[in-house]
């Protein structure tokens, strides 16, 4: 909306930060063993920079500009810090502008280039801010991503969402890296061996996810479902790169520990992929191959030539040996040479075929047609 | 925070006047978010389909059509608003979720659990997830017995979840609070070998009890060209 993504003069708090994320040390456990291990991580990281800040249990940050210059760039610094931290406990390291983005970058092991933070944040869901009420209001307005939220004008935001919303808006647009509950001042105090009873443990962690009331309730009921169905009976979905809809989804067994927020929908999900079928994507993907027959106007089978072209214009379709249905339209072919259910890598082709009842995505493999997905 | 859960237990011991006073205090002191939690948000193009312009917790909806085309898309689109706002969702009995389509609609995969093949334990598994998940999309793999369906509807009401049933061929013997039917489905974008599937126009008829007793008809693009859902106006029919 005509607003520049460059931070305004004054009033910004966006430092370039390197964040170390230790997924096994994110709790303030009773005996303090995790906190002691975390103190060792910090000591190891301090070899490269003396200004390490404990953000909360399992997360620390350091300003990256100076050390990066000294050690030959951010990439080199990240490698050194990661090796040092991993020597103590499994760690992920990332760099971005501002603490909020830097934590998300660390969870993904990314270096977000200077000035690239708004673009990095833009595709992430608004729920990642960890503010349920705000996310609910935004959803009712049809605003799903941080980028869409950031595109609202400051005046609209203050009018509709008040002061908290205004701050979240600055975070979403990369103009602030500080978000409520991001820091737990207790941690630094405890690490220094000082009493911290006066400082609360943040009870509703919001942004940190995985342990809110709703998440805990969901975790309990999903465990119960796993008791009934077996571990593989409850799965979550991750997106990855690929040309076809089957390749782009990966189903993984659900675990109580859960994955950090926001990882599912990232990782190349939106990246352009050569030969990818254009959007919109099919709602139903057939996990087991469904046989299909495709024929031309004279009833002769339509095949894919060695050059990836159709031998004739398709006219009718039969699924699993069912009745022939006339095609009201078709499009393609698109190249498909990854293996699907077959182990061998072969050259294939994809085709969109529309019948009076529905639209299918067909794939030619092993010398015949299959229904790979349905736009159900 | 724990105002809602012990309500019913308190109700047995307190007289109605005291209970009403308590409810009034709770309503006044409740944070804004909690007062809205009787409703779960939907994407704006779908608000006009629902009597509350949102999904009412504790209710059951069915989404279906004889050919089945479009039903799962509607069910996914219905949960996308709440999912994007941080609600947990579950999909029971559908082994072939198109994950890219789900994400394009706005579903947060981090809070989506899929129970792809619950088999004969499907009703028990559904009852289990209704305990702790805000929205459940159920595709019954077998025809449900009436008692089974009644029990799941009651469980959704009791746990203040939303149960969205896509009956498919299995059917659903219980009258839902809202019934959505998809028809007049038409794809745009393909010709004989030209272009690609771009968007699908459909008509959704909504009927139900209470304020929704009179059926209403709505035209949607689902998916629209960018994979989301959009209103398609009243034109065409």
The 3 state secondary structure assigned to A209-254 is CCCCHHHHHHHHHHHHHHHHHCHHHCEEEEECCCCCHHHHEEEEEC
Q: Which residues of A touch B118 (CB under 8 A)?
A: 228-229, 233
ipTM of model over 0.85: no
How many CB pairs lie under 8 A apart between chains A and B?
243
Q: Specify the number of domains making up chain A.
A: 3
Q: Which residues of A touch B99 (CB under 8 A)?
A: 237, 239, 245, 248-249, 285
Residue B138 lies in a domain: yes
Q: Is the pLDDT of residue A272 over 80?
A: no
Contact A279 B104 (CB under 8 A): yes
The residue among B99, B185, B192, B198 with the most chain A CBs within 10 A of its CB, best to mutate, is B99
- Give the pLDDT band of residue A195 (cuts 50, 70, 90): confident
Per residue in B96-134, is it b (16+ CB within 10 Å) or e — as a string?
Answer: bbbbbbbbbbbbbbbbbbbbbebeebbbbbbbbbbbbbb
Domain range enclosing B104: 40-231
Contact B110 A376 (CB under 8 A): no
Q: Is the pLDDT of residue A273 over 90?
A: no
pLDDT (tens digit per residue) in A301-317: 999 887 778 899 999 99
CA–CA gap between residue B124 and residue B137 (Å, rounded):
14
**What's the mean pLDDT in A337-345?**
50
How high is the pLDDT of residue A112?
94
How high is the pLDDT of residue A244?
74
Contact A264 B32 (CB under 8 A): no
Note whether A177 and A13 are within 8 A (CB).
Answer: yes
Q: Specify the number of domains making up chain B.
A: 2
Tell which residue, A349, A180, A224, has the closest CA to residue A277. A349
Both B130 and B173 in one domain: the answer is yes
Both B82 and B193 in one domain: the answer is yes
A271 shares contact with chain B (CB less than 8 Å): no
- Point out the residues of chain B with pLDDT beneath 70: 1-37, 65-68, 210-212, 234-237
Both A20 and A167 in one domain: the answer is yes
Q: How far is B87 from chain A (nearest CA, A)?
A: 8
Both A259 and A326 in one domain: the answer is no
How high is the pLDDT of residue A200?
62
pLDDT (tens digit per residue) in A120-176: 999 888 888 888 778 888 887 888 889 999 999 988 888 888 888 899 999 999 999
How high is the pLDDT of residue A168?
92
Contact A228 B128 (CB under 8 A): yes
Residue A332 lies in a domain: yes
Q: How far is B227 from chain A (nearest CA, A)?
A: 5
Both B192 and B208 in one domain: the answer is yes
Q: Which residues of B touch A129 (CB under 8 A)?
A: none
Q: What are phi and psi of B176, to 5 degrees?
A: -85, 170
A331 shares contact with chain B (CB less than 8 Å): yes
- Give the pLDDT band of residue A28 (cuts 50, 70, 90): confident
Q: Quick one: closest CA in B to A359, which residue? A: B187
Question: What separation in angstroms does the CA of A316 have from each of A49, A327, B118, B188?
Answer: 68, 5, 35, 19
B 87-106 → A contacts, CB under 8 A = 87-88, 90, 94-104, 106
Note whether B92 and B118 are within 8 A (CB).
Answer: yes
Note whether A168 and A133 are within 8 A (CB).
Answer: no
pLDDT (tens digit per residue) in B206-220: 998 866 678 999 999
How high is the pLDDT of residue A9?
38
A136 → closest Cβ in B36, B99, B128: B36
Both B166 and B50 in one domain: the answer is yes
CA–CA gap between residue B155 and residue A123 (Å, rounded):
36
What CATH number is associated with residue B79? 3.40.50.300
Question: What separation in angstroms does the CA of A217 have from each of A223, A253, B45?
Answer: 10, 18, 30
Both B1 and B65 in one domain: the answer is no
Q: Between these two residues, A366 and B80, which has the higher pLDDT value?
A: B80
Contact B44 A141 (CB under 8 A): yes
How high is the pLDDT of residue B22?
53
B33 shares contact with chain A (CB less than 8 Å): yes
Both A293 and A359 in one domain: the answer is yes
CA–CA gap between residue A119 and residue A113 (Å, rounded):
10
Beta bridge partners of A165: none
Both A29 and A156 in one domain: the answer is yes
A11 shares contact with chain B (CB less than 8 Å): no
Residue B192 lies in a domain: yes
CA–CA gap between residue A103 and residue B80 (Å, rounded):
26
Contacts of A5 (CB under 8 A, 6+ apart): A115, A118, A119, A173, A174
Both A250 and A289 in one domain: the answer is no
- Give the pLDDT band of residue A210 (cuts 50, 70, 90): very low
The residue among B30, B64, B98, B221 with the most chain A CBs within 10 A of its CB, best to mutate, is B98
Note whether A98 and A114 are within 8 A (CB).
Answer: no
Percent residues over pLDDT 70 in chain A: 85
Both B9 and B50 in one domain: the answer is no
Both B4 and B83 in one domain: the answer is no
The residue among B88, B109, B120, B226 with the most chain A CBs within 10 A of its CB, best to mutate, is B109
Query: ∠B150-B153-B155 over CA atoms, to 5°?
Result: 110
Both B90 and B108 in one domain: the answer is yes
Contact A237 B112 (CB under 8 A): yes
B 149-208 → A contacts, CB under 8 A = 185, 187, 189-200
């Amino acid at each position: 909306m005509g607003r520049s993504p460059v931070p305004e003069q004054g009033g910004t708090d966006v430092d370039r930060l390197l964040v170390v994320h230790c997924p096994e040390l994110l709790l303030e456990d009773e005996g303090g063993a995790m906190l002691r291990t975390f103190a060792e991580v910090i000591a190891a990281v301090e070899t490269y920079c003396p200004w390490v800040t404990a953000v909360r249990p399992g997360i620390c940050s350091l300003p990256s500009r100076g050390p990066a210059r000294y050690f030959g760039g951010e990439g080199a610094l990240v490698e050194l810090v990661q090796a040092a931290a991993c020597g103590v406990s499994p760690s992920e390291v990332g760099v971005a502008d501002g603490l909020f983005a830097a934590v998300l970058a660390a969870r993904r092991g990314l270096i977000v280039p200077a000035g690239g933070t708004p673009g990095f944040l833009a595709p992430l869901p608004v729920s990642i801010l960890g503010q349920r009420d705000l996310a609910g209001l935004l959803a009712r307005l049809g605003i799903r991503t941080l980028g869409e939220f950031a595109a609202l004008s400051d005046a609209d935001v203050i009018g509709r969402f008040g002061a908290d919303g205004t701050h979240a808006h600055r975070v979403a647009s990369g103009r602030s890296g500080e978000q409520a509950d991001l820091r737990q001042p207790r941690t630094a105090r405890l690490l220094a061996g000082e009493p911290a009873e006066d400082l609360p443990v943040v009870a509703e962690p919001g942004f940190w996810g995985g342990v809110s009331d709703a998440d805990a309730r969901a975790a309990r009921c999903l465990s119960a479902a796993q008791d009934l169905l077996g571990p593989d009976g409850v799965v979550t979905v991750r997106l990855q790169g690929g040309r076809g809809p089957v390749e782009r989804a990966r189903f993984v067994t659900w675990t109580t520990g859960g994955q950090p927020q926001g990882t599912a929908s990232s990782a190349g999900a939106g990246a352009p992929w050569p030969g990818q079928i254009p959007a919109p994507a099919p709602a139903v993907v057939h996990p087991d191959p469904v046989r299909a027959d495709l024929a031309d106007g004279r009833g002769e089978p339509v095949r894919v030539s060695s050059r990836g072209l159709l031998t004739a214009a398709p006219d009718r379709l039969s699924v699993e040996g069912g009745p022939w249905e006339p095609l009201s339209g078709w499009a393609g072919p698109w190249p498909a040479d990854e293996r699907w259910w077959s182990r061998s890598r072969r050259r294939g082709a994809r085709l969109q075929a529309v019948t009076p009842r529905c639209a299918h995505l067909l794939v030619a493999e092993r010398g015949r047609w299959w229904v790979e997905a349905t736009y159900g | 925070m724990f105002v809602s859960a012990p309500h019913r237990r308190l109700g047995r011991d307190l007289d109605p006047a005291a209970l009403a006073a308590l409810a009034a205090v709770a309503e006044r002191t409740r944070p804004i978010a909690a007062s809205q939690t009787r409703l779960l948000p939907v994407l704006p193009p779908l608000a006009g389909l629902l009597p509350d312009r949102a999904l009412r917790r504790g209710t059951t909806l069915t989404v279906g059509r004889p050919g089945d085309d479009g039903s799962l898309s509607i069910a996914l689109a219905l949960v996308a608003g709440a999912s994007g706002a941080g609600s947990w969702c579950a999909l029971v009995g559908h082994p072939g979720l198109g994950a890219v389509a789900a994400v394009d609609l706005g579903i947060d995969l981090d809070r989506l659990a899929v129970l792809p093949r619950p088999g004969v334990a499907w009703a028990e598994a559904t009852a289990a997830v209704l305990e702790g998940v805000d929205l459940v999309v159920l595709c019954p793999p077998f025809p449900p017995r009436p008692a089974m369906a009644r029990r799941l509807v009651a469980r959704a009401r009791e746990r203040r979840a939303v149960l969205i049933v896509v009956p498919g061929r299995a059917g659903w013997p219980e009258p839902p609070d809202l019934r959505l039917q998809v028809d007049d489905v038409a794809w745009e974008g393909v010709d004989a070998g030209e272009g690609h599937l771009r968007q699908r126009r459909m008509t959704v008829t909504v009927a139900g009890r209470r304020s929704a007793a009179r059926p209403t008809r709505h035209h949607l693009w689902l998916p629209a060209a960018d994979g989301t859902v959009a209103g398609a106006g009243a034109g065409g029919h």
